[in-house]
Structure 1
Amino acid sequence: MINKKIIHTVFEERVQKNPENIAIVYGEEQITYRELNSRANGIGNVIDSEKYIAIFMPNSIDYVITLLGILKSGSISVPIDVLAPNERILKIITKADIETIITNKANIKNLKKILKSLKLDREIILLEDTISSENNLALKSKEDSSAYLMFTSGSTGEPKAIIGMQKSLSHFIHWECKEFAIDESFKISQLAGVTFDVSLRDIFTALISGATLYIPTQRTNIEYLARWISQSRLNLIHIVPSLFRLLLKEFEFNSYDLSELKHILLAGEALYGSDVLAFNRLYPHIELVNLYGPSETTLAKIFNRIKIEDVTNQNMIMPLGQAISNTAILILKNSKLAQVRQVGEIYIKTPFRSKGYLKEEKLSQEVFVQNPLSKKEDILYKTGDMGRYKADGTVEFVGRADSQVKINGIRVELQEIEIAIKSYKKVENAIIISEMSPSKEIVVICYYIEKSRFVQSDIREYLVEVIPSYMIPNFFIKMESFPLNFHGKIDKKSLPKPEDLIYLDREFIEPQGETQIEVAKIFSQILRVDKVSADITFTQLGGNSLNSISATAKISHQFSVQINIKEFFENQSVEKLSYLIDNAQRIETATVEIKPLAKSDDYALSNSQRRLWVLDKLQENFNSY
């Protein structure tokens, strides 16, 4: 029985229409709609309804099978990052009262090891042990039933768990499919990690449309990712701006055929005019779309189909746009509707929101509030983001009202990082601040006072076991005391800049030899530092997992070697990395001699020239440049 507000039933209808269509492609693996549905039924048949069921798997076909099976059973999926710190996994399992965890053969050994170390006894279901069935399960969910549980950063030091609703998930998926005319011919990417709600957008826009979902086998090699996008002939990509910028640099460096790509939907961070202009110069036929919406209101609730003429300067933050269907955006200042261009806080009104936070009723009431403009019950979500209306009624993002930041598109509370660092026994006190780097990335800085002496590698090793890697600060700066202002409060503006202190307590060692000098230049360009000592590590200079992807891509291009992320971080000083490069096997690259054509009165047009000529004929006085 189909109910359009319950997403897996729409998928089941699609299976009936297109059973032999390819549903998912993952590397060399692929699966049809019929097989995907049958295997999901096998999972649904072995689990109870209305339970929180954990999935311990990364992005893969197996993950999607399991997710669908849990939805069919009437239970709630809880994805767990297989690389998450044990302490984080413990918090997820205990907060959601998880009794059952589903995994596959590739991950069961690691799961058992983690459970043993945490002294937890839980039922483990192995995906490969379930029996496929073409008989769909009886519908066990209602429109208001919970569908998924996603954990996000919390200001108390404990992760918050957001309860997603069936009808809300279905509402957004149907909106996107209609807005972008997605049909069975589409090829759609899944780049988001499974522990983020946007992964559901990737998965279900494809699966309710009869389209094909493409999942990359790796995400940390930017050259591979660019080649994968091109070779997969994708039509629609969902991506965060920080990863988009890395791909943009690769697209500028090498030529990639993206002729089939129609739309790139960006969300999670601010998108800048410079991003739009640079991409449009390369691929003017591809539409960029800005999306905005917190997890609490289910995926995106504002969108902006960007036109190049809307970019008035390269430093502008691209407008968020207008509300999607069944949604209203209110910008309030002092409980009144803000005037045009007046800055206020962004509130979202929609019946298609989440249920709030699991076991956090007080916190839910603080963010799901009564509309001050209405005398009747009318619930709004208080985003904490500041914005303003433009003259045409669209919304612009201005900044945050609190200490929350987005790191690589992932929402992070700085207080959670601060609490984790203060829990380290050798730290007396700590302050966490964030800054925007020249390359428009968030840089997190920890200033700390020691209780007893330690080296930075000690606290990094401690934090790896406590918080996700993306939350570990870029810089750790030791202080004897914190500067105070006139009122006796910590004066954050007077805290020293990390780049001013890098070589305060260490000798600068000049890079030696051609390779070391070039590697130091790469570090300098990516991290925007003037001096790079031969013995200093990429991490000590403020590097992180995201800009390490850019570093390995540059090394690959410059030295014709392949250095993976694991090797990079194991050898991340200029000295060690240069030794690795000098002893690595060179990649064979074919070169073709370019010979000039004989002189002629006219020459055949290139593909890009022919496209410009056609556009000019279709639209008089069209100015492509």
Structure 2
Amino acid sequence: METIYERLRSIAKSDPDQLALLTSDRSLTYRDMIDQVDELAQKIPFSHQKVGVILEHGIDMIFVLFALLKNGNCYVPAEPSFPIERVKTMMEEANVKTIITQTKFNERFKGMDLTDLDDLKKSEADGSDPMWIKSEDPAYILYTSGSTGRPKGVCVTPKNVLHYIWAFEHEFHIGPGDRMLQYSVCSFDIFVEEVFASLLNGACLVIPNEAEKKDLSSLMDFVEKNAVTIISGFPYLLEEMNHLPSIPCSLRLLISGGDVLRGSYIDHLLDQVVIYNTYGPSETTVCASYFKVNGSKVLEDGTYPIGKAVLGSHIDLWNDQDHPVKDGEVGEIIISGDGVSLGYIGNHSQENKAFEKKGGTTYYHSGDLGYKLKDGNLAFLRRKDDQVMILGKRVEVMEVEAKLNQIDTIEEAIVRVYQDEEHLSYMIAYFVPKTKCSLSKIVEQLSESLTYFMIPSYFVQMKSLPRNANGKIDDGLLPVVLKVGHLDV
């Protein structure tokens, strides 16, 4: 089977002068890119290892990822801004050999096994050829929030990635002449879509620096200047663009994913550009379904359908007995096909039960509820469990709750989820202190292990948590802090 690197090399061979990477101060053709990747791969002194990647976004990051993949390594990405303890947990569980980073981050991540990228680039090539790469070896591990109180890493294979880039090309016809914006952080699977669906289909990846994406105005200036044709992002980015008098004329496609897409987010964009709503957990490699929004109507709840399964994937709706439900009835969204990943790395046996093998096929139980419309498209309804989407990122409420209860000044704490007037979820933490405690210290301690979007929006200090006659928390007696709908991008 063709590998990710081999796919890139074949494009570089067939169309070497096609533009591959573009920033405000650098441009590289596919020939340039494959030469740089090959040179760096020769300097990486290991293969078939798990390797952490903590780098600034830019062309060098792309070189590192492809060089690691060429040698059969699996990359484990983390943003430099991630809490130190969370990074440690991720890298220890993944058993990474080292973390490739930049000098500026050495002090922040001291105590970990670091490999400085500048030193690596200056080193001598070892001249060895990469070992044989198996299609079921992991290509990358993405960490998501975990219900056990610690994050869990999803192992995605080269086969999964190649499945998705073919599905993406089949639906969106991306290729030479297209320019895809690289806007997402590397730890979310929108990044996988941006990087691999563009570069493995012969398109150009356009990468803004931090200043160029600091606000919407700067980002749109960058998009227009560099003739970007495709943007994939959370629905909140589209909602912000919806308020603009116009969008860059080079744009031909906007892809929304990661959370529900509401009609009110894009009503002024519909006559300017093609828009797709997409759905899919990281466990099934980026997206499992697509839905073209233009010309369609919103559902009764104001959201758009999530569409039909992508090429090479299949979606069923099952009840609690694993039997298919009738059209129009609510069932759990079950995903099978070439996008289903290997599951979670490490000791996550309970969570890995979501990957069910039947007759040679692996079915992923998403935990999402949905129903089929008369036209065959699927509609997303809600989660079955306590998982929630905050700013497009999956958050396990139990993980946040567990971290709160580990704080030594807190006697007991619970977290509940509510929705604002725009139907966006937010969390409230209710806690009983052991002694006098500082809220700023609580937030500071949470920030050591939780990313910013996992911190509850509000904290309510209580003398005791209300319970019913069975000793369970009585949610009806919890004070609710109402939140005005507002989108912060």
Q: Same fold (TM over 0.5)?
A: yes
Distance 1:307 1:86 in 2: 43
Q: Which amino acid aligns with 1:274?
A: S
Structure 2, unaligned runs of 5 or more: none
Q: 1:364 to 1:472 in 2, by over 3 A?
A: closer
Note if contact 1:151-1:160 (Cα within 8 Å) is conserved in structure 2. Answer: yes
Shift of 1:43: 2.4
Shift of 1:297: 1.2
- 1:83-130 CA-to-partner distances (Å, cap 9, x unmatched) read 111101111221112222222xxx32322x2343xx344554536624
Which residue is equivalent to 2:105?
110
- 1:361-388 CA-to-partner distances (Å, cap 9, x unmatched) read 62354101145xxxx3432100000011
Note if contact 1:347-1:380 (Cα within 8 Å) is conserved in structure 2. Answer: yes
Q: 2:157 aligns with which of 157, 165, 169?
A: 165
* Local SS of the residue matching 1:54: strand
> What are the residue-to-residue correspondences of 1:553-592 with 2, within 5 Å?
none
State yes or no: 1:299 paired with 2:289. no
Which piece of structure 1 moves more, 72-81 or 41-50?
A: 41-50
Which residue is equivalent to 2:267?
277
Which residue is equivalent to 1:230?
224
State yes or no: 1:339 paired with 2:322. no
Which residue is equivalent to 1:265?
255
Q: 1:127 to 1:172 in 2, by over 3 A?
A: farther
Q: Which amino acid aligns with 2:310?
A: I
Q: Which amino acid aligns with 1:229?
A: V
Q: 2:32 aligns with which of 35, 54, 79?
A: 35
Which residue is equivalent to 1:511?
none
Q: Which amino acid aligns with 1:309?
A: S
State yes or no: 1:189 paired with 2:203. no
Q: 2:349 aligns with which of 362, 371, 384?
A: 362
Task: Please tell me whether Structure 1 or Structure 2 has the larger radius of gyration of its CA atoms.
Answer: 1
Shift of 1:257: 4.3
Q: Which amino acid aligns with 1:233?
A: A
Shift of 1:400: 0.3
* Local SS of the residue matching 2:449: coil
> What are the residue-to-residue correspondences of 1:492-511 with 2, within 5 Å?
492-499=475-482
| TM-score for the superposition, normalised by structure 1 | 0.73
* Local SS of the residue matching 1:467: coil
Which residue is equivalent to 2:454?
471
Shift of 1:221: 1.4
Q: 1:23 aligns with which of 13, 20, 23?
A: 20
Shift of 1:350: 1.0
Q: 1:163 to 1:63 in 2, by over 3 A?
A: same
State yes or no: 1:432 paired with 2:419. no
Percent identity reads 26
Which residue is equivalent to 1:535?
none
Q: 1:96 to 1:287 in 2, by over 3 A?
A: same
Shift of 1:235: 1.1
Q: 1:68 to 1:90 in 2, by over 3 A?
A: same
Distance 1:137 1:238 in 2: 36
Q: 1:220 to 1:444 in 2, by over 3 A?
A: farther
Distance 1:413 1:85 in 2: 17
Distance 2:71 2:457 in 1: 43
With CA pairs under 8 Å and 6+ residues apart, which has the higher RCO, 1 or 2?
A: 2
Which residue is equivalent to 1:239?
233
Shift of 1:15: 1.1
Shift of 1:140: 3.0
Distance 1:342 1:127 in 2: 58
Shift of 1:136: 11
Distance 1:170 1:132 in 2: 32
* Local SS of the residue matching 2:349: helix
Q: Which amino acid aligns with 2:311?
A: S
* Local SS of the residue matching 2:195: helix
Which residue is equivalent to 1:520?
none
Distance 1:128 1:99 in 2: 15
Distance 1:173 1:137 in 2: 26
Which residue is equivalent to 1:9?
6
Q: How many residues align?
A: 484
* Local SS of the residue matching 1:278: coil
State yes or no: 1:179 paired with 2:171. yes
> What are the residue-to-residue correspondences of 1:377-456 with 2, within 5 Å?
377-456=360-439
Q: Which amino acid aligns with 1:528?
A: V
> What are the residue-to-residue correspondences of 1:76-225 with 2, within 5 Å?
76-103=74-101, 107-111=102-106, 113-116=107-110, 119-126=111-118, 129-130=121-122, 140-218=132-210, 219-225=213-219
- 1:26-63 CA-to-partner distances (Å, cap 9, x unmatched) read 23233222222222112212231110011110321111
- 1:473-495 CA-to-partner distances (Å, cap 9, x unmatched) read 11111111222235432122331
* Local SS of the residue matching 2:374: coil
* Local SS of the residue matching 2:139: strand
Q: Which amino acid aligns with 1:305?
A: K
Distance 1:126 1:54 in 2: 16
Which residue is equivalent to 2:336?
349
Shift of 1:248: 2.1
Note if contact 1:155-1:416 (Cα within 8 Å) is conserved in structure 2. Answer: yes
Distance 2:224 2:478 in 1: 46
Q: 1:20 to 1:137 in 2, by over 3 A?
A: farther
* Local SS of the residue matching 1:309: coil
Which residue is equivalent to 2:274?
287
Q: 2:309 aligns with which of 316, 323, 329?
A: 323
Distance 1:132 1:21 in 2: 29
Q: Which amino acid aligns with 1:264?
A: L
Distance 1:109 1:128 in 2: 15
- 1:518-560 CA-to-partner distances (Å, cap 9, x unmatched) read xxxxxxxxx639xxxxxxxxxxxxx9xx62x5xxxxxxxxxxx
Distance 2:366 2:257 in 1: 15
Greater fraction of residues in helix:
1
Q: 1:528 aligns with which of 479, 484, 489?
A: 484
Note if contact 1:72-1:139 (Cα within 8 Å) is conserved in structure 2. Answer: no
- 1:223-252 CA-to-partner distances (Å, cap 9, x unmatched) read 212322233322111111122212323x1x
Which residue is equivalent to 1:74?
72
Shift of 1:262: 1.3
Distance 2:114 2:317 in 1: 46
Which piece of structure 1 moves more, 136-145 or 427-436?
A: 136-145
Q: Which amino acid aligns with 2:208?
A: P
Distance 1:465 1:157 in 2: 14
Note if contact 1:426-1:450 (Cα within 8 Å) is conserved in structure 2. Answer: yes
- 1:572-624 CA-to-partner distances (Å, cap 9, x unmatched) read xxxxxxxxxxxxxxxxxxxxxxxxxxxxxxxxxxxxxxxxxxxxxxxxxxxxx
Q: Which amino acid aligns with 2:316?
A: L
Which residue is equivalent to 1:59?
57
Note if contact 2:20-2:199 (Cα within 8 Å) is conserved in structure 1. Answer: yes
- 1:257-277 CA-to-partner distances (Å, cap 9, x unmatched) read 432211111111011122242
Distance 1:109 1:275 in 2: 38
Q: 1:328 to 1:63 in 2, by over 3 A?
A: same
Q: Which amino acid aligns with 1:108?
A: T
Shift of 1:132: 9.9
| TM-score for the superposition, normalised by structure 2 | 0.93
Q: Which amino acid aligns with 1:327?
A: S
Distance 1:406 1:127 in 2: 40
Q: Which amino acid aligns with 1:301?
A: A
